[in-house]
Amino acid sequence: MICLGIEGTAHTAGIGIVDDSGNVLANVIKMVGGESKGIHPREAANHHAKEMPSLIDKAIEEAGLRYDNIDLIAFSQGPGLGPCLRTAATAARALSLSLDRPIIGVNHCVAHLEIGRKIAGCNDPVLLYASGGNTQVIAFAGGKYRVFGETLDIGIGNMLDKFGREMGLEFPSGPKIERLAKRGRELLDLPYSVKGMDVAFSGILTATLQLRKKGARLEDLCFSLQETCFSMLVEVTERAMAHVEKEEVLLGGGVVQNKRLQEMVRIMSEERRARMFVPPDRLCIDNGAMIAWTGILMHQSGIRMSIDETTVRQRFRTDEVEGVWRG
């Protein structure tokens, strides 16, 4: 079975083609970016609508296939930005109807975890999912994917991007902040906000901007921002691992490309005698391959959807997904 997956929850339009052994045959991605100032849902949706047809052609070509080789269409049903989700869903419905193939809607957060399980080779991990819009610690427990901790306000990536915008850094700012942080010398005092298993970032952003006004060095701010926020993420991830007694930690989302974050998670997991798994960058960020692979798992476990059931779900919760394919 070959599945074509369509991703379009936020900045990224992605088409992936995956077979039922988990081989990624194509994974093409186009992100709204450059000088674009943060995310405007309608503009991102227009971008996706414009790019989708050529991305689909490109993926089919990259996989060395024809349209009629595709057996299943999967798409990111949520959570995400309404206009973006609707664009991806429309493309999926059009393909499903024109090729006469089944369609399946996938939870985007669960897809980050499933592609990691397949490609990075872990079995039952705790996922630290840190992206632009999302920051969650997720694990499978009691037949469902459960969120053990999450951000109470904004996603960590969006916070980094907002800070970057104020500092005149190009979007997305995460990689620039990482580079500047390497030249940081002083760890500045920023509010460390972990509340139970949850984290919050907006207070840290405000404090960082205030320190800048008082003349703090940009490099020290980037360094301190990373150290503080990543420590918070590591703390809640470790607590979730202890709580559910799991010995694998998987990273997902664009922010986990950050080498300092990877290093901190690695140290924590080694101290617990656990193992860390990091998928390749193009499978960490939002992508269609993870949607296609999760679609295959769902289809193989007997899940079927009619077109009526493909309405997008902006607030699709991770724990609403029945993980029937996990047995």
Residues that bind ligand ATP (CB under 6 A): 9-12, 80, 131-134, 155, 157, 160-161, 172-175, 178, 253-255, 257-258, 285-286
Q: Residue count of the chain, please give it.
A: 327
Q: Which of 150, 133, 140 is nearest to 113 (CA)?
A: 140
Q: Is 151 in the site for Fe ion (CB under 5 A)?
A: no
Q: Which does 240 bind (CB under 5 to 8 A by kind): Fe ion, ligand ATP, none?
A: none
Q: Is 7 in the site for Fe ion (CB under 5 A)?
A: no
Euclidean distance between CA atoms 156 and 132, whole angstroms = 6
Q: Is 114 in the site for Fe ion (CB under 5 A)?
A: no
- Give whichever of 224 and 287 is closer to Fe ion, judged by the CB atom: 287
Q: Which does 125 bind (CB under 5 to 8 A by kind): Fe ion, ligand ATP, none?
A: none
Q: Is 136 in the site for Fe ion (CB under 5 A)?
A: no
CB of 13 to Fe ion, least distance (A): 13
Single residue of 76, 96, 131, 151 touching Fe ion by CB under 5 A? 131
Euclidean distance between CA atoms 207 and 196, whole angstroms = 21
Q: Where are the alpha helices (DSSP H) in 173-251?
A: 174-181, 202-213, 218-244
Q: Is 262 exposed, middle or buried (0-12, 13-18, 19+ CB in 10 A)?
A: middle
Residues 45, 200, 163, 205: what is their CA dihedral angle, to the nearest 10 degrees? 150
CB of 80 to ligand ATP, least distance (A): 6
- Give whichever of 224 and 257 is closer to ligand ATP, judged by the CB atom: 257
Euclidean distance between CA atoms 176 and 173, whole angstroms = 5
- Give whichever of 105 and 132 is closer to ligand ATP, judged by the CB atom: 132
- Give whichever of 5 and 184 is closer to Fe ion, judged by the CB atom: 5
Phi-psi region of 143 (alpha: psi -120 to 50; beta: other; left: phi over 0): left
**Residue found by looking up tokens 């949607």 in the block:** 291
Q: Is 76 exposed, middle or buried (0-12, 13-18, 19+ CB in 10 A)?
A: buried
Q: Which does 178 bind (CB under 5 to 8 A by kind): Fe ion, ligand ATP, none?
A: ligand ATP
Single residue of 114, 178, 227, 286 touching Fe ion by CB under 5 A? 286
CB of 247 to ligand ATP, least distance (A): 25
Site residues (CB under 5 A) for Fe ion? 131, 286
